[in-house]
């Protein structure tokens, strides 16, 4: 069955909406993932500080970040559930043919999510009634569970990029699998570490960015200072690490996925002394318009000497490589990721220098402006990195083994376009509701912090998070709005 | 070995049916709770009961899908191709439900809350119905490898019966669990409220079963023939007995045990269905053996599952234990807004 479809070179009409839908849902899910993976870690850091030094400000931060985690985790789960279904709804060919080769990674991921969901529930709901020490220690495995989940997901994705560990019979059906090889594929190591560091770095810059904005608005108290310093320090330490790891993965791609590398650097013909282009557009005839050309640099970066030979796009037939438009997109997203990564390094250096010179945060307002933008910049880098990975693999869904066209569902294109429309509309509502909730939380905390709590508008007195009080008294007594046990005057 | 993996898959399905099903049932009763005034108290109980556990319950579904595509790739591909539309509706329902539930608490205005609450409740009804319809389509042999998506695959008499039965079963589970929760939260009036609903949903299930028998006789011939004899029939009889016991326990307000018997009833019915389908995953076109992935993967799948049971089991146990002991309680405004010492300038 597999080989029969290979003959079919032009893509079926349902492929475009299927790809758009997959790309859209992944691109939105990935925005939540850094927080899902790393927010527990950052929260535990301030939580630990709060317990060790008996610091109420740090504990306050940890409690508030937990409240954010509660909402964000719920949205992460629903967007992730859609992705899981899409593997069947959009790519039955991929799962039907290769499920037993690379599905195991998802198995690890599934259980890791399970652990994560259990521990997050205990952490979020344990604040009030559990012993503080027990509560903290029960949450300590959380970051490890998150890393385990990432292990599964990245194992699956890196297998799609550098598939191995299976033997095929004459019909192209899988007859044997070496699980270890299928999990630890050549690109897995670099991809995993690059991804994991990206998640912690991004979460750090995003959280710090919120407090940088507060700082710029003149809220220069210890609360904002701590809320900025802890996550920003984590991110600043990881930034140089990320550049080193990024360099490693780029070279791994050069060796293991030469065609993708050619697209990233828009190299048309295989050659030595290849120049590096910063931006620029690849035309259908292989010429390059615009962009900044730096002679020899690409060969230098790939192999440390100008005589390094770099494989060009034309080394494989046109049907087996990304189109010039796709290559241009990959090239741009790659360049944006690298440029943003380098700018983040400068920011981290600024912070380090200020710290070593006068043991304090930089004083310049420009530093905080940049810090506020760093969260967005790292989210953009994450998106760009994934577009590089995914579009650079085209037209393969499993590199050199299965085309996207062979994997796609037989469902009519019109149904898929309709589904895309519904999902986009749903996500617009979902994410606006999510942001509204975050804005409201922020607003209420501001009011509370400025000592204006008694003037609070008289809404139904329940918590802002998806989860309200659970006191028995409230239900037993039966009035519609039980007062909170801890006696804060309400409503 | 493929057989073992198939049973693991069925066990995970049963776990999802019970854990997730209870939540869907809670949503069903939320839908039926009446206007904002009248439904206030049952709804609050539903929120309290579901809060800390619904996310963990949802993960069973993810794991079910992972076992399907890793253990039995052609089976996964066939079901997701033929059942395209109902599964799209399921996943949209899942998103709406999760989001509706998570967002209705923070919504401070009554109108907003109503919207989110309605979204949550309606989708709690749709998701089990379409899951049930998919199962009916599979059991009646309408899905085979290569079957294109078609309305017949899920809009047929068997699917209608199984869809309604899935809704009935979730309503039953939800009502039983909420009865016990009402006792836990010391709300005796709600104990009676949900007890009554548990009996009603059980009665509805019995009626559905008797309507279903003739309807599915020819429509789902393979499974029908098997389920009316031998081991599957024995399982069904025991399931009926546990359901009866549940009803009696409720009558005697022995609320500690009724949850277990209700769960046992649902698990036994699912086991009977699994036993009746043997050796097929898709009657009568794809057997367990034909659909199975290669042996090394299946071995590893079992190993990973085993390790996971060791890791997740205690965690899940701890979560449920803490939850039933009332140790888990959400942060309130008071916790996150408590005034800090006056802001010290730096
Ligand atoms: C904060 C985020 C971030 C930053 C600053 C960088 N990256 Fe990155 N990069 C990612 C976030 C990311 C990512 C989103 O996490 C990706 C997507 C897939 C993956 O595993 O990591 C990725 C993928 C990715 C790939 C594609 C891997 C593949 O196709 O298999 C390459 C070659 C690089 N990166 C290289 C770099 C270099 C040379 C950087 C800096 C100089 C860099 N990245 C900074
Ligand atoms: C481990 C995680 C991931 C897996 C298993 C995965 C898998 C897939 C699959 C199956 C497709 C469709 C087939 C194809 O076009 O090759 C796809 C396409 C795509 N994915 Fe990923 N993906 C992952 C992560 C991501 C993330 C996080 C993003 C976020 C930006 C992303 C962006 C895209 C894009 C843009 C496409 C469309 C490519 C195109 O149409 O040219 N992917 N991915
Ligand atoms: C195609 C790829 C992807 C699929 C199918 C997928 C699937 C899922 C699913 C089903 C969930 C909900 C789990 C639950 O119910 O608890 C989820 C959430 C999550 N996903 Fe994804 N995901 C994908 C991409 C990614 C990537 C690239 C990562 C990176 C590690 C990731 C990390 C997470 C994390 C950490 C969560 C937990 C929820 C949270 O913390 O927000 N996912 N994902």
Q: Tell me: the pLDDT tens digits for B149-163?
A: 777 777 788 888 889
Q: Which of residues 278-297 of B touch A (CB under 8 A)?
A: 293-294, 296-297
Q: Tell me: the pLDDT tens digits for B279-300?
A: 888 887 788 778 777 888 888 8
pLDDT at B109: 62
Nearest Cα to Cα of residue B205 among B253, B161, B260? B161
Q: Which of A31 and B38 is assigned the larger pLDDT?
A: A31
Interface ipTM above 0.85: no
- CA-A19 nearest atom, ligand 2: 40
Res A339 pLDDT > 80: yes
Pairwise CA distance, residues A202 & A37, whole Å: 10
pLDDT at A489: 32
- Per-residue pLDDT band for A461 (boundaries 50, 70, 90) equals very low
Q: What is the mean pLDDT of chain B?
A: 81
Pairwise CA distance, residues A489 & A294, whole Å: 67
Q: Which of residues 197-236 of B touch A (CB under 8 A)?
A: none
pLDDT at A241: 93
| A126 within 8 A of B323, measured Cβ to Cβ | no
- Per-residue pLDDT band for A462 (boundaries 50, 70, 90) equals very low
Pairwise CA distance, residues B299 & B306, whole Å: 11
pLDDT at A478: 35
Check CB contact under 8 Å for B305 and A107: yes
pLDDT at A409: 83
pLDDT at A325: 87
Mutation probe of ligand 1 site: the residue of A187, A249, A298, A330 with most atoms within 8 A of C-beta: A249
Q: Which tokens hold the place of A240?
A: 């140089």
Q: Tell me: the pLDDT tens digits for A51-97?
A: 888 888 888 888 888 888 888 888 888 898 899 888 888 898 888 88
Percent of chain B scoring above 90 in pLDDT: 5
Least confident of A284-288, A427-431, B17-21, B209-213: A284-288
Q: What is the mean pLDDT of chain A?
A: 81
Q: Which of A280 and A464 is assigned the larger pLDDT?
A: A280
Chain A nearest C-alpha distance from B247 (Å): 25
Domain layout of chain B by residue ranges: 2-336
Check CB contact under 8 Å for A129 and B301: no
In angstroms, what CA-CA distances link B110 with A431, A474, B106, B107? 21, 19, 11, 8
- CA-A386 nearest atom, ligand 3: 27
Q: Which of A443 and A25 is assigned the larger pLDDT?
A: A25
**Centre of ligand 3 from the C-alpha of residue B68, in Å:** 18
Check CB contact under 8 Å for B331 and A63: yes
Res A476 pLDDT > 90: no
Smallest-distance ligand from the CA of A192: 1
Q: Provide the CA B108 distance to its chain's centre, in angstroms.
A: 30
pLDDT at A388: 93
Most confident of A218-232, A235-249, A263-277, A355-369: A235-249
- Assign B280 to helix, strand or coil: strand
What's the N-to-C CA distance of chain B in angstroms? 66
Least confident of A40-54, B248-262, B332-346: B332-346
What's the N-to-C CA distance of chain A in angstroms? 67
Pairwise CA distance, residues A126 & A367, whole Å: 37
pLDDT at B108: 59
Res A302 pLDDT > 50: yes
Least confident of A312-321, A445-454, B317-326: A445-454
Q: Tell me: the pLDDT tens digits for B78-107?
A: 888 888 888 888 888 888 888 877 777 666
- Set of chain B residues whose Cβ sits within 8 Å of the Cβ of A117: 55-56, 58-59
Res B5 pLDDT > 90: no
Res A257 pLDDT > 50: yes
Cβ-nearest to A125 among B304, B328, B339: B328
Query: If you count them, how many residues does chain B have?
Result: 346
pLDDT at B340: 46
| B30 within 8 A of B42, measured Cβ to Cβ | yes
Q: Tell me: the pLDDT tens digits for A159-185?
A: 998 888 888 877 777 777 888 888 888
pLDDT at A5: 40
Q: Which tokens hold the place of B44?
A: 């609050």
pLDDT at A381: 94
pLDDT at B151: 73
Check CB contact under 8 Å for A476 and B85: no
Res A466 pLDDT > 50: no
Pairwise CA distance, residues B49 & B45, whole Å: 6
Res A316 pLDDT > 70: yes
Nearest Cα to Cα of residue A313 among A304, A325, A301? A325
Res A276 pLDDT > 60: yes
Smallest-distance ligand from the CA of A394: 2
Q: Tell me: the pLDDT tens digits for B236-265?
A: 889 889 989 888 888 888 777 888 888 888
- Per-residue pLDDT band for B334 (boundaries 50, 70, 90) equals low
- CA-A76 nearest atom, ligand 3: 41
pLDDT at B336: 58
Q: How large is the average pLDDT for residues B31-48? A: 77
- Set of chain B residues whose Cβ sits within 8 Å of the Cβ of A104: 70, 297, 300-301, 304
Residue A348 parent element (H or E): helix A324-358
Helix axes B255-277, B110-139, angle to 10 degrees: 40
Check CB contact under 8 Å for A125 and B52: yes
pLDDT at B146: 76
């Amino acid at each position: 069955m597999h080989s029969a479809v290979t003959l079919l070179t032009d893509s079926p009409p349902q492929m475009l909406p299927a790809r758009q839908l997959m790309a859209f849902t992944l691109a939105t899910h990935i925005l939540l993932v850094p927080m899902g993976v790393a927010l527990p870690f950052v929260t535990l850091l301030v939580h630990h500080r709060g317990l060790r030094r008996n610091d109420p400000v740090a504990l306050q931060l940890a409690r508030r970040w937990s409240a954010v985690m509660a909402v964000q985790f719920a949205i992460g789960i629903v967007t992730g559930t859609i992705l899981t279904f899409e593997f069947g709804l959009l790519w039955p060919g991929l799962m039907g043919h290769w499920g037993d080769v690379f599905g195991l990674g998802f198995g690890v991921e599934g259980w890791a999510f399970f652990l994560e969901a259990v521990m997050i529930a205990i952490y979020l709901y344990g604040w009030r009634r559990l012993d503080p020490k027990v509560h903290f220690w029960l949450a300590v495995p959380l970051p490890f569970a998150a890393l385990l989940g990432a292990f599964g997901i990245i194992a699956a994705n890196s297998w799609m990029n550098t598939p191995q560990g299976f033997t095929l019979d004459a019909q192209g059906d899988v007859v044997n699998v070496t699980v270890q090889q299928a999990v630890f594929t050549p690109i897995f190591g670099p991809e995993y570490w690059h991804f994991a560091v990206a998640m912690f770095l991004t979460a750090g810059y995003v959280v710090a960015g919120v407090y940088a904005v507060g700082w710029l608005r003149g809220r220069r108290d210890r609360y904002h200072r701590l809320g900025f310093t802890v996550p920003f320090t984590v991110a600043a330490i990881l930034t140089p690490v990320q550049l080193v790891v990024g360099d490693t993965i780029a070279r791994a791609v050069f060796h293991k996925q030469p065609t993708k590398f050619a697209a990233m650097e828009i190299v048309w013909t295989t050659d030595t002394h290849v120049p590096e282009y910063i931006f620029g557009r690849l035309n259908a005839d292989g010429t390059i318009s615009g962009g900044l050309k730096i002679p020899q640099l690409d060969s230098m970066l790939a192999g440390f000497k100008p005589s390094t030979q770099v494989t060009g796009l034309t080394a494989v037939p046109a049907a087996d490589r990304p189109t010039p438009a796709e290559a241009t997109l990959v090239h741009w997203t790659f360049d944006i990721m690298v440029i943003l990564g380098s700018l983040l390094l400068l920011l981290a250096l600024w912070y380090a220098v200020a710290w070593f010179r006068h043991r304090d945060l930089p004083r310049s307002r420009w530093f905080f402006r940049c810090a506020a933008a760093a969260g967005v910049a790292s989210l953009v880098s994450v998106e760009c990195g994934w577009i590089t990975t995914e579009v650079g693999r085209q037209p393969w869904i499993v590199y050199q083994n299965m085309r996207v066209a062979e994997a796609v569902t037989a469902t009519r294109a019109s149904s898929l376009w309709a589904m895309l429309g519904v999902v986009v509309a749903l996500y617009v509502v979902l994410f606006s509701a999510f942001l509204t909730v975050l804005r409201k939380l922020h607003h209420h905390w501001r009011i509370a912090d400025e000592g204006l709590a008694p003037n609070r508008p008289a809404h139904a007195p329940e918590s802002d998070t998806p989860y309200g009080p659970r006191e028995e008294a409230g239900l037993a007594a039966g009035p519609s709005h039980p007062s909170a046990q801890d006696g804060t005057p309400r409503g | 070995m493929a057989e073992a993996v198939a049973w693991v898959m069925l066990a995970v399905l049963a776990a999802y049916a019970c854990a997730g099903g209870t939540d869907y049932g809670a949503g069903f009763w939320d839908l039926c709770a009446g206007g904002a005034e009248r439904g206030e108290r049952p709804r609050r109980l539903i929120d309290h009961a579901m809060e800390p556990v619904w996310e963990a319950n949802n993960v069973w579904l993810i794991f079910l899908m992972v076992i399907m595509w890793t253990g039995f790739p052609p089976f996964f591909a066939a079901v997701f191709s033929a059942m395209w539309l109902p599964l799209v509706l399921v996943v949209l329902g899942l998103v709406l439900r999760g989001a509706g539930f998570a967002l209705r608490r923070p919504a401070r205005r009554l109108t907003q809350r109503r919207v989110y609450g309605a979204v949550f409740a309606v989708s709690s009804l749709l998701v089990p119905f379409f899951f049930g319809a998919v199962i009916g389509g599979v059991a009646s042999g309408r899905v085979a490898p290569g079957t294109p998506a078609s309305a017949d695959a899920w809009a047929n008499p068997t699917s209608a019966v199984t869809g309604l039965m899935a809704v009935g079963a979730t309503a039953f589970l939800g009502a039983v669990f909420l009865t016990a929760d009402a006792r836990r939260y010391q709300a005796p009036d709600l104990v009676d409220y949900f007890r009554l609903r548990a009996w009603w949903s059980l009665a509805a299930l019995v009626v559905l079963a008797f309507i279903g028998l003739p309807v599915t006789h020819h429509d789902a011939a393979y499974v029908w023939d098997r389920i009316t004899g031998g081991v599957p029939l024995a399982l069904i009889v025991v399931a009926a007995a546990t359901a009866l016991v549940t009803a009696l326990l409720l009558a005697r307000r022995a609320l500690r045990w009724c949850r277990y018997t209700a769960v046992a009833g649902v698990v036994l019915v699912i086991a009977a269905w699994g036993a009746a389908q043997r050796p097929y995953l898709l009657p009568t076109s794809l057997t367990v053996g034909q659909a199975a992935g290669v042996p090394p993967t299946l071995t590893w799948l079992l190993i990973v599952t085993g390790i996971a049971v060791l890791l997740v089991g205690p965690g899940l146990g701890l979560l449920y234990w803490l939850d039933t002991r009332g140790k888990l309680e959400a942060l309130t405004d008071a916790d996150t807004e408590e005034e800090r010492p006056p802001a010290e300038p730096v």
